Amino acid sequence: MTFSAEDATAASEPFRRLVEEVGKTVVGQQPLIRRMLTALLAGGHLLIEGVPGLAKTTAVACLARAISTDFQRLQFTPDLLPADLTGTQVYRPQDQQFVVQKGPIFSNLILADEINRAPAKVQSALLEAMQERQVTIGSETFPLAEPFLVMATQNPVEQEGTYPLPEAQLDRFLMKVVVDYPTRDEELQILRRMSKTKAEILVNAVTSPAEILQARNHVDQIHVSEAIEEYIVDLVMATRKPVAYGLPLEELISYGASPRATINLTLCAKANAFLEGRAFVTPADVQTIAMDVLRHRVIITYEAEAEEKTPEMIVQTILDGVRVP
């Protein structure tokens, strides 16, 4: 049975209501809320970067409340241990045996707050859970419940007490969203809404984990034409071999995006089309999402840093230079 535009519009309606619910508490930050939904529908994880105080944590907490799902907030600190996330084996003297005590990672929605304030061994403890959707404790392996989503916030790496995330872990994130300061009007609205000794989170549950899993099935049915597929592959290939696309970026890119980027860019474009109420992907869907999918996967050279180039500048050059179907 063909998935039509009418089907897409009807199926995506609860998620438009979800945006409205989160917006009752979170002022502005529409791109962030939209990317959170995209990650949820595409079945990937989201890395949110921004200075403290920009409602990153609040936005994720509001999303969990609007979905009516299990939610765990993990505050990453320099003294955190891997077992604090995944759990450990505990000895029971009365039984004279070890039993598994599961950690907070066993939840549907995980907020890894300030993830880059914990050392690499703790960050790496998330790798198996994020990629394999399972956790190994001792000799036992436990599957994680679906939907499972890690939304990690991090402070800019220039700030005190931060550790850069390993490239292998960065690649596990579907998207990296950079959150900026609100506009003047938004700041005024924040002042009027939140300047209370006890600010309320006015979010009602509008969907459920079961509906999210059903929506993912709809996302899988979104049509991607051959021309769009080739466009996505060209964008990713241009991060590895820019000269082949007439882009003078060879000396600026140390490592390009992996095949995981191709998969994730396609999934995110389909999820974006679904949220727009369409049953097919357009080049605009790809372009809308490409920066957030690619920015953390393009590793720049020392020459690029010396020239004050950023991964965002390079990705934008690729988007401008690769032919659009």
Q: Which structural domains are found in the chain, ordered by start?
A: 15-192 (3.40.50.300), 222-321 (1.10.8.80)
Reported in sequence order, the residue ranges of 103-192 that DSSP labels E, i.e. its strands, are: 109-113, 134-137, 140-143, 149-154, 173-178
User: How many helices (H) and strands (E) would you count in the chain?
Assistant: 13, 11
Confidence (pLDDT) at 5? 72
Residues with Cβ within 8 Å of 55's Cβ and at least 6 positions away in sequence, in order, are 26, 27, 29
**Whole-angstrom distance between the N-terminal and C-terminal Cα of the chain?**
27
Cα–Cα distances in Å, from 94 out to 22, 98, 139?
48, 11, 22
62/202 Cα distance (integer angstroms): 9
Is the peptide bond between 147 and the residue preceding it cis, with omega within 30 degrees of 0?
yes
Q: How many Cβ atoms sit within 10 Å of the Cβ of residue 265?
A: 27
Per-residue pLDDT of the chain (325 residues; tens, 9 = 90+): 566 777 777 878 878 888 877 777 777 777 888 888 899 899 889 998 877 777 777 787 788 888 877 788 888 888 888 888 888 888 888 877 888 788 888 888 888 888 888 777 777 777 778 888 888 887 788 888 888 888 888 877 655 666 777 777 788 899 999 888 888 888 888 787 777 777 666 777 778 888 888 888 889 999 999 999 999 999 999 999 999 999 988 888 988 898 999 999 999 999 999 988 888 999 999 999 999 999 999 988 898 888 888 999 999 999 999 999 8
Task: Show the 3-state SS of 268-307.
Answer: HHHHHHHHCCCCECCHHHHHHHHHHHHCCCCEECHHHHHC
Assess contact for 174 and 130: CB atoms under 8 A.
no
